[in-house]
Amino acid sequence: MFQALLTLLGTLFSPASSAQTEHPWFEVTRTIEGMEDPARIKEAIEAGIPGFLRQLEQDHETPLLFQLWGMSRNIDESHLSTGRRTVSPAVLKALNSIWNVNYDSSYIYGHAGLTHTYGYLLSNLETPFGHKRLRYTRNEIEAGFGLPAGLFSGRPPKGTLFSNLTLFAGKIAFRDHEPAVKLLDEAIGQIGRTAPLELLSYPFGSLKVRRLVEWTRNDQFTLELRTDIVTFPRPNTAGRNTALLIYSVVYKKDGKDRARPRLITVFPVDAGFANNLFKADGLGDRVPFKLKYNASVQGELNPALLVGRRFIAE
């Protein structure tokens, strides 16, 4: 695990994180740092990245997309001791003035889709793995899947970062859950011609996907954590990572109908990180685990240690 962490750190701090890939996010995040007024923040974002906020307005026209994502904690595990927010509460408040999705009053717990896409682009928090926005500024995902550069960036050539990522990750994470696929397809229908053809026609069935499942149940809830590792079918010419990690959660309170899986986060990983997840000595019927990648369940279970079954799905 330690060696995999070192490898991933080397990848994240490689020359691909140059000022060229950071600009204009590097400048904008520093311009808005310390600002508290949502109107001023949006003005500064628009001045630094003209047209960026139009993406959020476009996403707002397809509210079904919001239902495909779960909740997350806006405090990275590396900063739990300090409580420092990954994304400034004021920035999330400004972005959420367009979306109006669920957050608590302190912007600690809220909509994973907003926090992990546009929020991460505008985060200046340093983590052991670098800035959160690197997953969207390097074009590694696009290179690895043979897609047009920038399709999962803050300024995609077509569609929006959020809708493009939801479409792509959802087709993989929801593949075994008919109600979720139906909802995703309905959302895609509402997006219409703004969805990139390269995503609509992508051969998802040809991808090599491994899924790690962590499952537990008690008298209050059933929780299933799904980690999909999707091997890049093309050489990654933009970095060293070799696969895409898609993390989703199924949470059902006792007595409720079957819950849908909901996306939490998406980011590229290297072979060492991916392979470490599937080690045989980590599998079993009574294994300790917890919510990862800053996932949240309505502000509960964070970051409580759970015991349950960990297995590789067929």
Asked, for residue 61, whether it belongs to a domain, the answer is yes
How far from 81 is each of 50, 75, 76, 276, CA to CA, in Å? 36, 10, 10, 26
Residue 10 inside a domain? The answer is no
- In the structure, what pLDDT confidence band is assigned to residue 159 with cuts at 50, 70 and 90? very high
**259 occurs within a structural domain:** yes
Residues linked to residue 225 through DSSP beta bridges, in sequence order? 214, 249
Longest dimension (CA), the chain: 54
Asked, for residue 174, whether it belongs to a domain, the answer is yes
Band of pLDDT at residue 8, cut at 50, 70 and 90: very low
Domain count across the chain: 1
Q: Confidence band (pLDDT; 50, 70, 90) for 208?
A: very high
Closest CA to 207 of 264, 145, 163, 269: 145
Per DSSP, the three-state class of 211 is: strand
| Neighbouring residues of 126: CB distance < 8 A, sequence distance ≥ 6 | none
Please give the residue range of the domain that contains residue 251: 17-312
φ/ψ of residue 137, rounded to 5: -105, -10
Name the β-bridge partners of 246.
228, 266
Residue 33 lies in a domain: yes
- Domain assignment present for residue 6? The answer is no
Full DSSP string of 113-164: HHIIIIIHHT-----TT--TTHHHHS-HHHHHHT--TTTTSSS-SSS-HHHH
CB-count exposure of residue 181 (10 Å: 0-12, 13-18, 19+): middle
Q: Which amino acid is at 118?
A: Y
Q: What is the pLDDT of residues 115-142, one digit of tens each?
A: 999 999 999 888 777 889 999 999 999 9
- Residue percentage of the chain with pLDDT more than 90: 78
Helix (H) or strand (E) holding 296: strand 295-296
Mapping DSSP to helix (H, G, I), strand (E, B) and coil, where does residue 183 land? helix
pTM for the model: 0.91
Residue 4, C-beta contacts closer than 8 angstroms, at least 6 positions apart: 270, 272, 273, 275, 276
Kindly report the average pLDDT of the chain as a whole number.
90
Q: What are 130's two structure tokens?
A: 């670098």
**Residue 197, in any domain of the structure:** yes
Burial of 30 per CB tally in 10 Å (0-12, 13-18, 19+): exposed
Q: Identify the burial level of 277 via C-beta atoms within 10 angstroms of its C-beta, where 0-12 means exposed, 13-18 middle and 19 or more buried.
A: middle
Q: Is residue 3 part of a domain?
A: no
* Spatial separation of the C-alpha atoms in residues 77 and 92, rounded to whole Å: 19
Q: By mean pLDDT, which of 100-114, 150-164, 179-193, 298-312 is the weakest?
A: 298-312
Digit-coded pLDDT (tens) for 246-283: 999 999 987 666 789 999 999 999 999 999 999 999 99
* The two three-digit tokens of residue 134, written as one number: 């690197």
